[in-house]
Structure formats: C-alpha cells, structure tokens
C-alpha cells in the first residue's frame, strides 16, 4: 500500500523584520516541526468507542497457570443484543470518515490499525452468517482452494478506501512505510486477532497510544506462556505456526526466532528454550474463538 505522506510548502528563509536571519530560520523550523507533531493521544480511543463497548461486553479474558492468557468472544450473545447492530454501524461509519494521515506517531498509528483489524474481523463474523448460522471458523468464508479468502478481500473501509485484513497487517503495520519510519514491530503477529482458537488473545480493552506498547509486550509474553503457542518436549521446541509463516519478521526484529523468544518470552522459560535442539510447529486451530471452543484451554 502507498501510505500517503504529508507534503509541506517550504518557506524561503528571509529575515523577519526585527529578527536576525538565524532567528527567522528557527521560527520556520519550528513551524515545520509542528506539522509533524504527534497525533492527539485521545483520537484513537475516541474513534473506537463503539468497538470498545463491544469488547467490554463480550470479551472474557481467562488467566491460565504460569501467567498464560487466552480469551473468548461471545458472538451469540452479541448477535442477540439489541445494541450490537447500531454499534457495528457507528464504528464502521467512524472508520469510513477517518483520515489515517493524522496518525503521525508510532503508538497512535499502531493502536489505530490494530484496532481496525480486530474490529473488522469481529464485525465480518457478526454481519455475515452462513445459511443463517454463525460460522464455525473464518475458513468458512473461503473454499477448498482458498480457505483463507476472507483475509484477502478488500471489504473494509477506512477513510473512503477499501482494505483487506492482510493489507492492514502485512502492508501497513508490517509494511515498507512503517519499516522506514521505525514503527514496524513483529509483535503485531501476537496482537492482531483472527477470531480463532489458535490466535493470540483478543483483549477486553482497545489499544490506545498510551497502552499499545504494554499490550503488545504482554500479549506476546502471555501467549508464549500457553501451550497454544509454545511448549517443550525434551529437546524439541514446539512453537505456534506464526513463527513458521512469518519467520522473516522475527528475524528482522531480533536476529532469529530464538532471539525473539529471548527478548519477549517469560524469563523463566529461557533456560528450557535454550536447551532445545530442534523447532517444530504447532498445528493452528482455526475454530472460532467462542466461549465453547476456548473451554478446553481454560483450566
């Protein structure tokens, strides 16, 4: 995706009456830098208020032994609730009218696009039953030759432009523009939620400029404290398929998958991880992250 940069008219450095030329230059520089000031820190929270209400009402976070975390979204209760349709419509309208060019700092941009991805995923499930029934998996929106079709369809409106979920995750959050700005972060893979059991947990709070760094770190660490994403059998390290599919992002971020684990896994796990000799990948569970499907993991 081409993520539009602001363009600025460069003013000539003529002396301002009563000021030396150097002060004139400083005034102009100050005006220029102010155009690149951080976004209003409240803009993301205000934009995603309807989505925040959905999360607060229908997400349940489940604390596991060893400080692991999984979560569930109660789709059936959300469908039955009188306010859900209005909340979805209001959130979609806010995003369709939102100008992403105002997101000029890392935390606001990451928080906005993470929320957008997770909201659009939930909204699509709630608004698109199959044969009148809630889907059992996001793969139900695909077919034999393309089971993951939902991620690649340009269905989701931000600022009057349609995006796919894959574009939001891979071309924006993990794309060239964010990389050039120093915003790219492999922990995104542990923060976006694909509405599946195998995904890292969906949190009950939206991401904001104030909490996004904390939530990305916590979601990564606490996900790795569950056997959905990491477990060890003798000398074999079993990891989420996320580490297989997106290995290049973890290598770019930390130098290797193992170094990424050293950076973000719970410190108590590191000796056992370092003692392993081989890596294998855990089969991804694409069943919907509904309460009944998450029940086997809650103990």
pLDDT of 40: 83
Instruction: Determine, yes or no, domain membership for 4.
Output: no
Lowest pLDDT segment from 144-148, 197-201, 266-270 = 144-148
pLDDT of residue 143: 87
pLDDT at site 68: 96
> How much is the pLDDT for 144?
75
Q: Does 281 have pLDDT greater than 70?
A: yes
Q: Which of 12-26, 53-67, 225-239, 244-258 has the lowest mean pLDDT?
A: 12-26
Same domain, 145 and 173: yes
Are 240 and 281 in contact by the 8 Å Cβ rule? The answer is yes
How do residues 2-42 score in pLDDT, each as one tens digit?
334 333 333 333 343 444 444 444 443 443 444 445 668 79
Does 258 lie in the same domain as 156?
Answer: yes
Whether residue 245 is found in the same domain as residue 148: yes
**Which of the four pLDDT bands, split at 50, 70 and 90, describes residue 222?**
very high
Position 3 in a domain: no
Residue 77 lies in a domain: yes
23 and 53 housed in the same domain: no
Over residues 51-62, mean pLDDT: 98
Average pLDDT over residues 34-52: 81
Task: Determine, yes or no, domain membership for 112.
Answer: yes
25 and 96 co-located in one domain: no
Question: Which residue range is the domain that position 28 belongs to?
Answer: 10-38
Share of the chain above pLDDT 70, in %: 87
Same domain, 23 and 167: no
Query: 261 falls in which pLDDT band (50, 70, 90)?
Result: very high
DSSP of the chain:
---PPP--PPPP-PPPTTS-HHHHHHHHHHHHHHHTPPPPTTHHHHHTHHHHHHHHHHEEEEEEGGGEEEEEE-HHHHHHSTTHHHHHHHHHHHHHT--GGG--SHHHHHHHHHHHHHHHHHHHHHH--BTTB--SBGGGGSBTTBTTGGGGS--EEETTEEE-HHIIIIIIITSHHHHHHT---GGGGGTS--SBTTSPPPPSS---TTTHHHHHHHHHHHHTTSTTTEEEETTEEEEETHHHHTHHHHHHHHSSHHHHHHHHS-GGGHHHHHT--EEEEEPP--BB--HHHHGGG--
195 part of a folded domain = yes
**One domain, residues 56 and 28:** no
Mean pLDDT computed over 275-288: 97
Express each pLDDT in 125-170 by its tens digit.
999 999 889 999 999 999 878 889 999 999 999 999 999 999 999 9
For residues 33 and 155, membership in a common domain is answered with: no
pLDDT mean over 44-58: 98
Residue 18 domain-assigned? Answer: yes
Q: Specify the pLDDT at position 6.
A: 35
User: For 66-123, how does the pLDDT look when each residue is reduced to its tens digit (9 = 90+)?
Assistant: 999 999 999 999 999 999 999 999 999 999 999 999 999 999 999 999 999 999 999 9
Count of domains for the chain: 2
| Residue 190 pLDDT level (bands cut at 50, 70, 90) | very high
Residue 219 lies in a domain: yes
Higher-confidence residue of 242 and 143: namely 242
What pLDDT is attached to residue 39? Answer: 63
Q: What is the pLDDT of residue 130?
A: 92
Q: Is the pLDDT of residue 193 over 70?
A: yes
Q: Which of 8-17, 66-75, 217-226, 228-237 has the lowest mean pLDDT?
A: 8-17
- Is residue 296 predicted with pLDDT exceeding 50? yes
Same domain, 168 and 25: no
pLDDT attached to residue 37: 54
Tell me whether residue 120 is in a domain: yes
Residues 26 and 142 in one domain: no
The chain-wide mean pLDDT, for the chain, equals 89
Judge if 124 and 33 occupy the same domain: no
Kindly state whether residues 44 and 33 are assigned to the same domain: no
Greater confidence (253 vs 36) lies with 253
Closest C-alpha among 167, 209, 169, 160 to residue 41: 209
């Amino acid at each position: 995706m081409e993520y539009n940069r602001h363009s600025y008219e460069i003013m000539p450095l003529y002396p301002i009456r009563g000021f030396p030329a150097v002060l004139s230059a400083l005034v102009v520089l100050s005006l220029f830098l102010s155009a690149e000031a951080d976004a209003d820190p409240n803009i993301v929270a205000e934009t995603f208020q309807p989505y925040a209400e959905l999360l607060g009402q229908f997400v349940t976070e489940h604390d596991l032994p060893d400080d692991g975390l999984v979560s569930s979204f109660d789709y059936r209760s959300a469908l039955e609730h009188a306010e859900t349709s209005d909340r979805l419509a209001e959130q979609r309208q806010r995003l369709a009218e939102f100008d992403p060019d105002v997101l000029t700092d890392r935390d606001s941009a990451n928080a906005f696009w993470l929320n957008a991805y997770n909201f659009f995923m939930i909204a699509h499930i709630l608004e698109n039953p199959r044969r009148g029934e809630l889907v059992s998996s996001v793969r139900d929106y695909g077919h034999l030759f393309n089971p993951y079709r939902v991620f690649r369809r340009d269905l989701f409106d931000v600022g009057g432009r349609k995006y796919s979920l894959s574009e939001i995750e891979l071309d924006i959050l993990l794309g060239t523009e964010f990389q050039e700005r120093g915003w790219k972060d492999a922990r995104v893979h542990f923060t976006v939620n694909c509405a599946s059991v195998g995904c890292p947990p969906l949190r009950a709070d939206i991401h904001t400029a104030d909490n996004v760094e904390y939530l990305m770190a916590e979601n990564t660490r606490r996900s790795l404290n569950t056997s959905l994403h990491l477990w060890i059998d003798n000398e074999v390290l079993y990891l989420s398929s996320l580490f297989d599919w997106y290995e290049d992002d973890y290598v770019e971020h930390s130098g290797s998958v193992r170094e990424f684990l050293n950076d973000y896994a719970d410190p108590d796990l590191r000796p056992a991880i370092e003692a392993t000799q081989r890596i294998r990948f855990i089969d991804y569970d694409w069943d919907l992250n509904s309460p009944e499907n998450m029940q086997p993991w809650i103990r």
